[in-house]
Amino acid sequence: MRLAILLLLSLFTFAASTEGIESTEVIESPEAKKGAEVVAFSDESLRPRYHQLLQELRCPKCQNQNLADSNSPISQDLRREIRRMLEEQMTDKQIKDYLKSRYSEFILYRPEVNKNTWLLWGSPVLVVLLGLLILLRHNRKPKPIAGGEISTAIGGAGTASKEAPTKSSDQQRLAELLGDKENQQ
């Protein structure tokens, strides 16, 4: 049962994270179509790659917009450059490297995995692992108690007989102590 809950929880976490990515893309794409000029390609198969690149590349001037959203002059220039490079049969990687060598990694909205970004990329996994660890620890703690004396003591019939002697002996001791005091007084 617990394992099932754990599995469900972790699945949910993964589902939530992928859902997040999808929803942002849904929000961006209509704007992307609005922002981009009407462009002609010699080969229509370049168009989806063009739009994909505009989504993933950041406008260096306007910071929180991608090249598809931004209408700043620098974005217009970069869109033109990307079209030119696509027509020249450059691969997506070559185009990204071209821009990266000029505008630094900042321009990539999907940063590469390297020594600066491993924590960024790894953090979802780390958080899930941490969550699992906490859940496991949390679940393990009550276990010895569950099999032991207290849980049977709580509802069981054995409680009275087991606790009774302790109680009565305590009370006896208490009485003795009180009695002593009273005697002294």
Partner 1 sequence: MNRLALFIPLALFVGLSLVLLLGLDKDPTDLPSALVGEAFPLFNLPSLKDEQNVVTEQDFNGEVVLVNVWATWCFACRIEHPMLNKLSEQGVKIIGLNYKDQRAGALAWLAERGDPYQFNIFDAKGSLGIDLGVYGAPETYLVDADGIIRHRRVGVVDDRVWESEFRAIYEQITGTEQ
To partner 1, the closest distance from the beta carbon of 73 in angstroms equals 7
Residue 141 interacts with partner 1 (CB under 8 A): yes or no: no
- Residue 123 binds partner 1, judged by CB under 8 A: no
CB of 105 to partner 1, least distance (A): 7
For residues 98 and 24, give the distance between their C-alpha atoms in angstroms, rounded to a whole number.
26
Helix (H) or strand (E) holding 110: none
Stretch in the footprint of partner 1 (CB under 8 A) among 4-12, 98-106, 142-150, 176-184: 98-106
How far apart, in whole angstroms, are the C-alpha atoms of residue 65 and residue 39?
Answer: 20
Residue among 106 and 118 whose Cβ is closer to partner 1: 106
140 is a contact residue toward partner 1 (CB under 8 A): no
The region of 31-39, 69-77, 125-133, 171-179 touching partner 1 under the rule CB under 8 A is 69-77
Rounded-to-5 percentages of helix, strand, coil across the chain: 75, 0, 25
Binding to partner 1 by residue 63, rule CB under 8 A?
A: yes
Interface characters, 75-94, with partner 1 (x: CB under 8 A)? --xx--x-------------
CA 42 to CA 139: how far, in whole Å? 62
* Residue spans of beta strands (DSSP E) within the chain: none
Residue 153 to residues 25, 142, 143, 147: CA-CA distances in angstroms?
57, 15, 15, 11
Q: Provide, rounded to whole angstroms, the least separation between the CB of residue 108 and partner 1.
A: 12
| Position 28 contacts partner 1 (CB under 8 A) | no
List the one residue out of 37, 108, 7, 100 whose CA is nearest residue 66: 108
114 binding partner 1? (CB under 8 A): no
Which C-beta is closer to partner 1: that of 47 or that of 102? 102
